[in-house]
Structure 1
């Protein structure tokens, strides 16, 4: 009797078979090994190739299939520590393709997407910075590895989607020091996963001058002048001057916008205590605290 397989079952069978055969397998061999009929397995091979979990190589008139380096079929519950170690090791040796394939494998498994950030990517960023601070990485290598992580964050931005979009939920991220770009992009991706419509403007550190606040305000008003709901503006910087400047520029718009505006600051532990007197809505200690506060604030407003 013909059996219908789920996508996860087919994926697991194909990846397991290919991982056991480093020289690759043809479609006929995969059908024989997995017990799945040829027509069905051909369809799923193309899907998995599109997802970049496997690849094919033409050998004469035969397509031979291989598993991509770093690809694995992570079963629920996912061992986040195991994935973190594999991803971290791939990043530290500069194996970008392998790190990418680890992330792709994970997001195509039963994973909590926010934990992809909190348990895998953020610890890796912290490890790279810690290795640099201990003198085990040079400046050039650190820049390369962090930019590699940034490229993967951008990949995730266009790969993963929220399970549900939150009505009237908007967020705007801006950074004013280079060392906070990574945190800002990760934060923006986290709120995207939560269902917010998210915008990341970039690093404005070199553009701040006595008139930049006018330009900054004009752009935000252009985007959100008539929108209602919750607008969370997140300011990331390790520099006190730029934080105060952007906070003042943002606070001045609160009464002009129809949305419920909340201002969040993300900075160093040393500056957090200094900036508490500003009266900002929230000063985030880390990504988890930002996520928890944002969810509480959204539900409190009952949008």
Structure 2
């Protein structure tokens, strides 16, 4: 394959291997693409994210059951880790915490984590946090924030992924209460396939990972001026 012009071919091939449950071929394709391109983020945005959407789509259409969906999700998750384990130079001033507010959004938060990591961010990926929906969550997250962002160097962005309004609302409110007590340079971004909720208070509300990444980079650059 020749990148960037062959991303579409790889996307089609990867989806074909995924749906046919050809696990090894899917991993080899991602591995080869990773070693052949200077744009690892594009592997996530052009190949992995469409695959997550397709897997969820065929499940929603009743073409596959939960067992098969779980298996496909595992293949996608392992594919993401191939990028995630890449050796990228990290800027300690660029910090991000990824939270999925429900199980369905977990792969998107994993994909975003790998994108940010490939773009030189220090990433703390918390996965599916839906079991943490309780009154103590903001204290719990505040404690974690204090540990990982002790120096308060640079900026910290908390990105929430959600496919349901309810769980998103809870996490947005919790994080806003932390932001209210915090000094500057703590930001909240929300990523989900929902109508823009006008009541939701966040620094960014977006539907796709690439936009969140671009906004984060711009926010970082303007914060160090």
Q: Same fold (TM over 0.5)?
A: yes
Aligned residues: 225
- 1:246 matched to 2:198? The reply is no
The answer to whether the Cα contact below 8 Å between 2:55 and 2:72 also exists between their aligned partners in 1 is yes
For 1:238 and 1:76, the matched residues in 2 are separated by: 32
Q: Quote the residue 1:296 is aligned against.
A: 218
* C-alpha distance in 2 between matches for 1:203 and 1:77: 32
Q: Which has the larger radius of gyration?
A: 1
Checking the alignment, whether the CA contact within 8 Å between 1:226 and 1:257 is kept in structure 2 is: no
Q: Is the 8 A contact 1:96 1:148 kept in 2?
A: yes
Partner-residue secondary structure (3-state), 2:124: strand
RMSD: 1.9
Q: 2:18 aligns with which of 91, 103, 116?
A: 91
How many angstroms does 1:225 deviate by? 3.6
Please, which of 137, 143, 164 is the counterpart of residue 218 of structure 1?
Answer: 143
Separation in 2 of the partners of 1:134 and 1:207? 30
* 2:6 aligned partner: 79
Shift of 1:211: 2.0
* 1:229–1:259 contact (8 Å) kept in structure 2: no
Deviation at 1:128, TM superposition (A): 1.3
Q: 1:154 to 1:110 in 2, by over 3 A?
A: closer
List runs of 5+ in structure 2 lacking aligned partners. Answer: none
Match of 1:286 in 2: 208
Change (3 A) 1:153 1:242: same
**Alpha-carbon offset, residue 256 of structure 1:** 4.5
2:68 matches 1:146: no
Q: What's the counterpart of residue 45 of structure 2?
A: 118
Give 1:82 shift. Answer: 0.9
- Structure of greater relative contact order (alpha carbons < 8 Å, 6+ residues apart): 2
Q: Does 1:196 align with 2:107?
A: no
Q: What is the rounded CA distance, in whole Å, between the counterparts of 1:203 and 1:167 in structure 2?
A: 25
Contact 1:237/1:243 (<8 A) preserved:
yes
Matched residue, 2:57: 130
Give the Cα–Cα distance (whole angstroms) in 1 for the partners of residues 202 and 83 of structure 2.
30
Superposed CA deviations along residues 147-166 of structure 1, whole A, max 9, x for unmatched, are 211122123211x233x433
For residues 152 and 69 of structure 2, the distance between their equivalents in structure 1, rounded to whole angstroms, comes to 41
Unaligned 5+ segments in structure 1 are 1-73
Distance in 2 of aligned mates of 1:241 and 1:75: 43
Matches within 5 A, 1:90-109: 90-109=17-36
Matched, 1:237 2:162: yes
